[in-house]
Structure 1
Amino acid sequence: MHWITLRMRVRTPIFNGDDGAGLRPASLRGPMAFWFRALAGTVAGPDVDTLRRMEESVFGAMGAPSPIAVRLARPLPVEWEQRPQWLEYGDNGEKGPGLGYLLGQGMGSIVGGRYRLMRPYVAPEQAGLFPLRIGLSGNPAVDALALAALWLLCAYGGVGARVRRGFGGLSIEGVSDGAEHLKAIPWTAESLRSPGFDHYRDLTRLWTATPELRECAAHLPELVDLEKPGVFARPWNDDEVPTYPVLSRARTCAGLSVASNRTWEGLLAHTGTCFSRFRASVAATPATVHTTPQQGQAAGDDAAGAAPPTHPLFPLGALGLPVVYANGGRVGERRASPLWLRPVADQGGQWHLFSFAFHDRFLPGNPPLVETYKRRGPVEIRDCDVVELSRRWVEGMKGEADPQWQ
């Protein structure tokens, strides 16, 4: 096994459990596997058995350890402060609820009109640069794709809780040791660094055409052949809705915000305010269907929905579930938000919001039905709602610094 050491940086606070560990190798391997599937899905397509086999060849399975090793050279410092300084101020230095809105009820609660954290976190300024050791297997395909998964995690995702709302961001700042072991794979010490601001500026889709991923993606068929010769895996057709998140020209959208701020917390505070208004505008959208004329005129689709008819459309749910829902004592379907929000900094140190969404199938079933709190009968969330709302958000943030959603 050949080891390389990466210089890593925490970009936004990491919420990774309640035991004070801060960050573990397993906390990285899980998100790496998510982004590997998004990449491998460009080859495996609808064949999820092939997708599983490809993942196992890189990240291992029960009884078959991964050929790749991930080690943290030192633990990251953990903070327990309920009201840290970065939570004090919103956009332009004004106090506001935007950050608390993005953090949600799982990370804290409002006490005395102010949001207070209830979970430990890793603060960017305290963590500083930290070393991450990666043990390479010697198989060029496996090594190239494992590093591609880590690169994708740092470029677009994160670790821990609330990564889809801008938290848990990491970046690769360089290679401090073992760069000579990259010669056999399509990575260099420079290309492995997390992308700069120019990378995000013109992105409208998440796809494999970037220089960093193109050569790595060429190794994917090798995993298919190694694991299951003669497999009938194929790429997704443009007219198919993928059943899981996958990098795609046709089934993703992305964009960079006009709004910027000198700090990540200021940007996310502003983003939280915008997102709150955006969700409110979606909740007020008339979007209820009726199966018979006797059911009367359509009612507004708001989150309370006092007495909706059978099978009302519920576009608000397309931004992610749960939206406070229940069916008696039974919990229904869960679905993370398809919309991701990620702060990125430009060369001058100003932070912008990079938003993107995977347009995969929202929930199983045709149509998928979910029971929600205070609504009689199931509600329907359509794949087209995911596409429409995510594009509306992305285009709105690209077009105005402070969009007023109608």
Structure 2
Amino acid sequence: MQWSTVHFHVRTPLFSGTGPGQQLSIPGIRGALGFWLRALLGAEVGENTETGERFGTLAARQATVLGMGGRNPRCSPVAMRWAAAPPVPNLSEPGITDEAQRVPRWVAGRPGMRYLLGQGLWTHRPATADPTDTRGLQRPWLDAGTGFDVGVRLPTDPASRELFFATLWLLSNFGGLGARTRRGFGQVTLTLPGDGQPGWWDQPARLDDETGLPAALAHLVTVSTDRDEPSYPRFGLCRTGPTALTSHRNIDTRSTSEHDEIHHVHNVLGTRWRAFRADHQSSGERPTRYTTEYRDVIASDATTDFPLANLGLPVVFDQKDVKVNLHHDGKPLRLGSPHWLRPEASGYRMLTFVHTLCPAGAALVASHRPDTPLAGLDPVKTRVIHTAWNNFDGKKSNWR
């Protein structure tokens, strides 16, 4: 088949690599698409975790669109290549210590955005003789407004082709590329060629209450209804009953630029999310916010209850050099946040995966007290958190 061009327009800063010289790649885009394809197909998969049948079925279904690696590789029926590669990202040269380059205008004076960037992308340390110890952004990024094109050769099978388009739609409306996409960075808007665009492409970016998908996409996944509730997977956008929730809140902005408006909303969103997550504030001339978990589990041994785990793991406490994470078979696991924050020009949205995937037998452990498993990771909590966020007034959170 002939090649088509998909245009990517960056709407929020996109962090494309972990160090100098690293840029956004086609495999990286494929990886992001794979996440949303698995979310789309989750309801077709069984719950047999002992034999790994669930993941094998999911991998086989994914292979019909994006291929599969491992012991039984399968070529992807979707070919992708650069049609117009993205420009060289900012901060791509090693050894840059100039604070003006590390603290661009979109993040200067916006503590909420800096909070959402997290410890891996932003540091408050002042500059020292060590070029790696410099205040500001720590990874290369592409600015909002950047554009690039990806050439795509679509599969001949109509079902696989439509699943691929649906995956692109989910990435464009709910996800992103690069680092910290769950906190609103790396958002991209995708434009398909006019002759290849499905009729449902311009559907509103919301989820249907029953299927977890817009009605126009629900036909793409066949959901069996002859199984009891426990047999369904604890992930995926589509199943019987809602598995993902969306919410929206408007924010008044007066910026003249669309990107300035989104940056402003992003900053407000980060400020509110910090207050929602950290439910206490110290006294004094320079008060700082902290969590109940820091006070009662990290700074003292008052309890083993750690509901903060429901916002994603690991959780790192620099003040005490402590990390809280899941461990399974002696190895640490990463549990991505089920809550996806998305700033827009008129306000912000949050997508919540109601069910999280956690291997049986995994233990929640704090590095400073490894022999005392923590409690508080609760799959039901995601819905409680989503409702609490919808009702949050920006002051005191009550989701714990």
Q: TM-score, normalised by structure 1?
A: 0.75
The one-character-per-residue Cα deviations of 1:52-109 (angstroms, maximum 9, x if unpaired) are 110112111233210101222122121123111100133xxxxxx2111100011120
Contact residue 260 and residue 351 of structure 1 kept, 8 A:
yes
Q: Which amino acid aligns with 1:209?
A: P
Q: Pick the aligned partner of 1:119 from 104, 117, 139.
A: 139
2:94 maps to which residue?
none
Who is 1:360 aligned against?
Answer: 355
Query: Which segment drifts farther, 234-243 or 335-344?
Result: 234-243
In the TM superposition, residue 404 of structure 1 has moved relative to its aligned partner by 4.1
1:278-332, Cα deviation, whole Å (9 max, x unpaired): 111297569xxxxxxxxxxxxx9745251145xx2211111011112269x9863
Given the alignment, which residue of 245, 250, 271 partners 1:253? 245
Instruction: State the shift of 1:134 in Å.
Output: 1.4
Partner amino acid, structure 2, of 1:73 = A
Q: What SS is found at the alignment partner of 1:103?
A: helix
List aligned pairs for 1:164-243, cutoff 5 A. Answer: 164-175=182-193, 179=195, 187-188=198-199, 191-192=200-201, 199-200=205-206, 207-211=212-216, 213-217=217-221, 238=229, 242-243=233-234
Structure 1 segment 4-403 matched on structure 2, within 5 A: 4-17=4-17, 18-46=19-47, 47-62=54-69, 63-77=73-87, 78-80=89-91, 81-90=101-110, 97-112=111-126, 116-125=136-145, 127-128=146-147, 130-175=148-193, 179=195, 187-188=198-199, 191-192=200-201, 199-200=205-206, 207-211=212-216, 213-217=217-221, 238=229, 242-248=233-239, 249-261=241-253, 262=255, 263-281=261-279, 302=296, 304-309=298-303, 312-324=304-316, 325=323, 332-344=332-344, 350-365=345-360, 368-375=362-369, 377-380=372-375, 381-393=377-389, 395-396=390-391, 400=393, 402=394
Q: Which amino acid aligns with 1:65?
A: C
- Indicate the SS of the match to 2:150: strand
| C-alpha distance in 2 between matches for 1:332 and 1:40 | 27
- The whole-number CA distance in structure 2 between the counterparts of 1:53 and 1:256 is 35
Aligned-partner residue type, residue 51 of structure 1: L
The answer (yes or no) to whether the contact 1:22–1:75 under 8 Å persists in 2 is no
CA distance in 2, matches of 1:148, 1:236: 26
Q: How far off is 1:205 after superposition?
A: 7.7
Q: Is the 8 A contact 1:305 1:374 kept in 2?
A: no
**Cα 1:403–1:255, aligned 2, differ >3 Å: closer, same or farther?**
farther
Could you tell me how far 1:235 is from its partner in structure 2?
8.0
Tell me whether 105-114 or 140-149 shows the greater mean CA deviation.
105-114
Look up the SS of the partner of 2:279 in the other structure.
Answer: helix
| Structure 1 residues 25 and 206, CA gap change in structure 2 (3 angstroms) | farther
Change (3 A) 1:237 1:28: farther
SS of equivalent residue, structure 1 residue 124: coil
Determine whether 1:405 maps to 2:397.
yes
Q: How many residues align?
A: 345
Q: 1:246 to 1:214 in 2, by over 3 A?
A: closer
Matches of 1:88 and 1:242, distance apart in 2: 43
1:20 to partner: Cα distance: 3.7
Gaps of 5+ in 2: 48-53, 92-100, 128-133, 256-260, 281-289, 317-322
Looking at structure 1, the residues matched to 56 and 170 of structure 2 have their Cα atoms a distance apart, in angstroms, of 23
Q: Distance in 2 between matches of 1:175 and 1:89?
A: 39
* Unaligned ranges ≥5, structure 1: 91-96, 222-232, 287-299, 345-349
Alpha-carbon separation, structure 2, partners of 1:112 and 1:58: 47
SS of the residue 1:379 aligns to:
coil
Which amino acid in 1 is paired with 2:385? L
Deviation, structure 1 residue 388: 1.8
Q: Relative to structure 1, is the Cα distance of residues 83 and 100 closer, same or farther in structure 2, using a 3 angstrom cutoff?
A: same
Following superposition, the deviation at residue 45 of structure 1 comes to 4.2
Distance 1:234 1:136, change over 3 A: farther
